Amino acid sequence: MGNRLTSEFSQTRHALGRPRRSCALLWVALLMVVILISVLWARSAGDANVLTAEAQTMVIIENKGSDTLVNLALAWAEAYMAQHPHVRISVTGGGSGTGIAAMINGTVDIANASRAMSPEEIEKARANGIEPVEFVVAGDAIAVVVHPSNPVDRLTLQQVSLIYTGQITNWREVGGEDRPIVLLSRESNSGTYVYFLENVVRLGEENDLLFSPDTLLMPSSEGISAEIRQNPNAIGYDGLGYVTADQKVLALATDPQGPYVLPSVATVNDSTYPVSRPLYMYTAGEPTGEVKAYIDWVLGAGQALVSQLGFVPLQP
């Protein structure tokens, strides 16, 4: 009897011990999960703090405008960002007028332009409380280009004006073959269009001459280049940096006696090529901080990239 009671007591105690040990193991497991979650949360919070700190130190510069300048501006931005990892420079084209309008509206830090701001644009900026600041960042020549098969190799500015106003319509009239002339131009929001209109079509004079209504307006410099390559009757104009080996560049002269000059870095610098111009960046007021540092770099060390892109570096 006593032995049976002892045995039953031992079995009861053993059975009661099992759930106690199970509860203890469960609490240990829960504690480990809590500790693991705490560690992961602390680590993620630390990573978030690092990302937040990096975001706070990152500087974004918005740069928009001239399609002539866009490739050079991209090269400048990439080189500068490689040296300054905390800076991000966003470069887009759209035309000089588009970039200037964005600068006036306060949506970009820097406007690229292949022409100077007009008096109307400056007045509009001032009415918006902005005093535009102009920086000449490179030089350029506007090349007049034709298909390589075209036998014409030189024109006067007067002839180019007569061609683009529709008064000369056949290549035979300027020493070429009996073929109709196909006119190519940039669109009117392009600074290159404005410069060519004022200085070639209008010959720098105050008049109301306009491009012929038969002129095909191309949305980009690349569009003009592509059409010249495939159309033996076409004539176009482009910034020197966009001229490729499969286009024929015409020598230009201010009068028939010459000299007829081809565009190049040298002929822009010595002012013998008659259709050359400065290229600009504009800011809304004097730039400060990283924007100033970037423009200072463009005007200094960044000039080493200018000739590589086919443009004319600033003279020392």
pLDDT digits (tens, 9 = 90+) for 126-171: 999 999 999 999 999 999 999 999 999 999 999 999 999 999 999 9
Residue 12 has pLDDT above 50, yes or no: no
Q: What pLDDT is stored for residue 292 in this prediction?
A: 98
Q: How is residue 212 written in tokens?
A: 């012929």
Residues 6+ apart with CB under 8 A from 134: 116, 117, 280, 281, 282
What is the Cα–Cα distance from 208 to 84, expressed in whole angstroms?
48
Instruction: Record the tokens describing residue 123, joined without a space.
Output: 């007045």
Give the model's confidence band at 56: pLDDT under 50 very low, under 70 low, under 90 confident, else very high.
low
User: Residues 98, 244: contact at Cβ < 8 Å?
Assistant: no
pLDDT digits (tens, 9 = 90+) for 295-309: 999 999 999 999 999
pLDDT at 41: 56
pLDDT at residue number 36? 60
Taking 90 as the threshold, does the pLDDT of residue 217 lie above it? yes
- Of 234, 217, 224, 214, nearest in space to 149 by CA: 234
Separation of alpha carbons 11 and 14, rounded Å: 5
> Under 8 Å CB-to-CB from 191, ≥6 apart: which residues?
66, 68, 95, 96, 97, 113, 114, 115
pLDDT 10s digits, 230-270 = 999 999 999 998 898 899 999 999 999 999 999 999 999 99
CATH numbers and ranges of domains, the chain: 58-138+280-309 (3.40.190.10), 140-276 (3.40.190.10)
Contact 69, 90 (CB under 8 A): no
